Amino acid sequence: MVAPGGQGLWQPRGSGLLVAVVGLSVVALVVHGAIALLLLHGTVRPPVAADRPVGRPTPTATTPKPTTTPAPTSPPPSTGTPGSAAPAAAGALHLDHACLVADNPPTSAHIPSGDPFGSDLSHLGSGAELQRLYDVHSGTLEPADAAGPVRECDRRLWAIVVAATPVEVLEYVDELLVFDADVSAGTAVGEVFAQPNSTEASAHWRLSLALNNSTDLDVTFNVAHEVGHLLSLNRAEMTGQDESSCQGIFMGEGCLKDRATLATYIDDTWGDDVLDEWSTADDLTDDQQQADAFDAFYEKHHDQFVDAYAATHPVEDFAESFAMWCALGPSSPLLPDFIEGDPTDGAAKLAWFDDPSHAVGLQARARREALQAFTR
């Protein structure tokens, strides 16, 4: 999930289309021939269970909310975090069951006044409860919330993030916020939030994750989803042009470069007719009507998406497809059964990341082994 103040998208083929996904916090405006989208990237998905394929959860009756990852409990405190952004060995990734309990006691953590990302967590959902906030310096966590040293569960969570994120992308993460999620209240389980009111928003991100009430696989999948957003929406994908001069796709953080990763993915894997159908559903202003339209859209085109959440927006489709490609091995029993044969089907979207012409797959390939070993 991408939080308010961030991310824009593609120039729809053949039209100056107005696109808005408020439920996903995507708000698009046509500005000077460009498409401007403000995205709140988070994911609210059911837990990934070994007895249920993750590819096609039953569509919900409400518009998807941002994703969040539950916050950890308080095992023995740690004084530091992994200092290297190199991929971690498979055995180095570990979460105790104590880190994944359903609910954690409140902490004394608070977001300091003047934090560049602000203290409003409402976009995470009404049930979100702050557990800890850390600054990230040279790949290391430093407490920013006056609540004591780095907790062991948070250190281990950060090790998973480091293992999943290419070093050149990890440099864009300025903060890690850990919170408890209340999925029953529509709380997100993960989110990336670009620094608001910044001329270099796409170079500064807060990553928010929840650990509570999760499994190892849930956490890995949610981390990979947010890494997918970071890979496709960071400063290296932007031209630096402002909204008035952007002639392509303007995201809240900046103007996407020609043939940027996200634009290329959409052009390669979304047919014009499917994109038009999605846009029609997205234009609906009544929340329930829009939710029903997204459900119907997914039911009609489910073979073209890795799961129902991916069908709610092209930006979330990229992140969900990347997460499944990254967190699950090609022989995983959790992979859904896809009907293959078309460049826009679910199998082709996973295969897209294996194409050597797409740099994003090359960036992340070295990260897959450790994550997939962790979730076996």
Identify the pLDDT of residue 158.
97
Identify the pLDDT of residue 13.
34
Identify the pLDDT of residue 101.
93
Burial string for 184-219 (b: 16+ CB within 10 Å, else e) reads eebbbbbbbbbbbeeeebbbbbbbbbbbbbbbbbbb
How many other C-beta atoms lie within 10 A of the C-beta of residue 340? 11
Amino acid (one-letter) located at 170? L
Which residues fall within 8 angstroms of residue 329, CB to CB, at 6 or more apart?
Answer: 368, 372, 376
Identify the pLDDT of residue 240.
75
Is-contact 99 153, C-beta < 8 A? yes
Identify the pLDDT of residue 245.
87
Against a cut of 0.75, is the pTM above it? yes
Angle at CA of residue 102, ends 97 and 106, nearest 5°: 105
Look at residues 220, 218, 210, 216 and name the one whose alpha carbon lies nearest to residue 73. 210
Q: How many CA atoms lie within 13 A of 181 on its CB side?
A: 35
Residue ranges, the chain, pLDDT below 50? 4-40, 45-86, 89-90
What is the tens place of the pLDDT at every residue in 265-281?
999 999 899 999 999 99
Identify the pLDDT of residue 55.
25
Identify the pLDDT of residue 337.
73
What is the tens place of the pLDDT at every residue in 84-141?
344 554 456 889 989 999 999 999 999 999 999 999 999 898 889 999 999 999 999 9
